[in-house]
Amino acid sequence: MFEKYPPDLRRKLYDSQRLAIGKAKRNVICPVCGTLLYKVVGREHQIVEALCKKCGFNEEIDLALFRRMKLRQIYNSEEGYWYCPHYEQQAV
């Protein structure tokens, strides 16, 4: 599968896949708008700089703290749609 890559990169890819065996796989979503940011393997503390292409969220986050997160949205019954108050405050 990795034969088209140079030997040093191939070794790193094999080692990475070997370490990922048996670990939980999960999605990391944007805390503001809910867009998929990353697919992560494992539950260790990893600090990454998250950049959301949809809302522009650009902060460093600890992936272990963002395991389970609900998007904080409010339904506007008069207008008939869901909105995120945090996103609207940042846009102003």
Residues 6 or more apart whose CB falls under 8 angstroms from that of 87 comprise 32, 33, 55
| Residue 15 predicted with pLDDT over 80 | yes
| Residue 49 predicted with pLDDT over 60 | yes
Give the per-residue pLDDT at 85: 58
Q: What range does the domain containing 47 cover? A: 7-91
The total of structural domains in the chain comes to 1
Instruction: Note whether residue 72 is domain-resident.
Output: yes
Instruction: Note whether residue 1 is domain-resident.
Output: no
Instruction: Note whether residue 69 is domain-resident.
Output: yes
Instruction: Note whether residue 2 is domain-resident.
Output: no
Instruction: Note whether residue 45 is domain-resident.
Output: yes
6-45 CB burial, b ≥16 within 10 A, e <16: eeeeeeeeeeeeeeeeeeeebebbbbbbbeebeebeeeee
What is the value of pTM for the model shown? 0.56
Give the per-residue pLDDT at 87: 52
Instruction: Note whether residue 71 is domain-resident.
Output: yes
Instruction: Note whether residue 41 is domain-resident.
Output: yes
Q: Is the dihedral of CA 16, 19, 22, 26 positive or negative?
A: negative
**Highest mean pLDDT of the ranges 5-14, 63-72, 80-89:** 5-14
